[in-house]
Amino acid sequence: MHYFTLPGYGGSSAEHWQSYFEAKLPNCERIEQANWDGPDRESWVNNVEAKISGCEDKEIILIAHSLGCITTAHWVKQFQKKVKAALLVAPPDLENQDHGFTSFTPTPLEKLPFPTILVASDNDPWCAKKQSEFLAGKWGSRLVVLEQAGHINADAGFGQWDAGLKLVEELASI
């Protein structure tokens, strides 16, 4: 099994749960982007493809946060590839809020061709719960809603996130 984390805008700090997962999971690495603070869909999606293409003989689980979730959906749409599964945490609502990530719109709404769990918060400043429910339905994801979890990042207290790690383990056992 090979795990890849896909951070969102700004990357994920050492205190972020993705960094914790990278340290805890075997064969887990980050898909690095050239410019974390100036995201470009084409560049980000192509970086995902380059990294995953080198691991075609392994089962792969993607672990995405925020804009990394939208990048995952664009990668699937563009390259028509499958992985074993994906954990999609706190995707932003790009259509109904001004994020400035215009190259990522429109958000792909096609069903993802592999098992996914979408984790959302009932008070995420970047995506209303109703929009998270909509995305989960469109993508065919099982939805897990956390109460008062903000954007489910280090600023919201999600560093050592063992419950999230259990979700990854659940996906790995499918």
57 pLDDT higher than 80: no
Residue 15: is its pLDDT beyond 80?
Answer: yes
Query: What are 18-53's pLDDT values in tens digits?
Result: 999 999 999 999 999 999 999 999 999 999 999 999
* pTM higher than the cut 0.85: yes
**Burial of 169 per CB tally in 10 Å (0-12, 13-18, 19+):** exposed
Domain ranges of the chain: 2-172
- Give the tens place of pLDDT for each residue, 83-109: 999 999 999 999 987 878 999 999 999
Residue 58 has pLDDT above 80, yes or no: no
Helices (H) and strands (E) in the chain, counts: 5, 6
CATH superfamily of 2-172: Alpha/Beta hydrolase fold, catalytic domain (3.40.50.1820)
